[in-house]
Amino acid sequence: MSVYYHKFEVRWSDIDANRHLGNSTYVDYCSQTRMAFLNKNKIGLTQLNRWGVGPVMLHERYSFFKEIYADQTVYVALEVAALSEDGSIYQFVHKFYLPDGTHCATAEATGVWIDMMLRKTTTPPDDIMEVMNEYKSENVQTITREYLKTLPFRPENIDASLLENFK
């Protein structure tokens, strides 16, 4: 089991009106951490394009414990918290830490690997599975397609005529 850490220097543009790290910045930091993790493990965009697969996030949720301010350094950890047997579905847990080890926030991100041509869920190449297995957390869960149905939101289409007054 390994944990991946990515370091950020909090910029002025990362701060919101409350003078702490903005909500959208947490999302950006998690996304950048995942891409840096893939790049470090030789699964960058070039390789993903060669394989014809891509990571897609389906759901993210956050818990915040301590504010992060401008000009601070923050480390974002990444662990694989859950994985389907074929690796097509995965869940990362990200933890935000200050340099002294203070735990500021946790994010959980659930995603799937897709075939970029078919735009459908696919099993990732063995190279990806090796890396995902290396970064499994101690308490990794096995998830299935049924798990995706338990995510808190489902599509709810509306009658398009309801939007006519807002065009």
Given a cut of 80, is residue 1 above it in pLDDT? no
Residue 10, both tokens = 């909090």
* Percent of the chain residues past pLDDT 90, beyond the cut: 95
> 97 Cβ partners below 8 Å, 6+ apart?
74, 75, 76, 77, 103, 104
Domains and CATH numbers, the chain: 4-152 (3.10.129.10)
Nearest Cα to 7, choosing from 69, 93, 68, 75? 75
For residue 108, the model assigns a pLDDT of 98
Q: What is the mean pLDDT of residues 135-161?
A: 93
Kindly report the pTM of this predicted structure: 0.93
How does pLDDT run across 73-122, given as a tens digit for each residue? Answer: 999 999 999 999 999 999 999 999 999 999 999 999 999 999 999 999 99
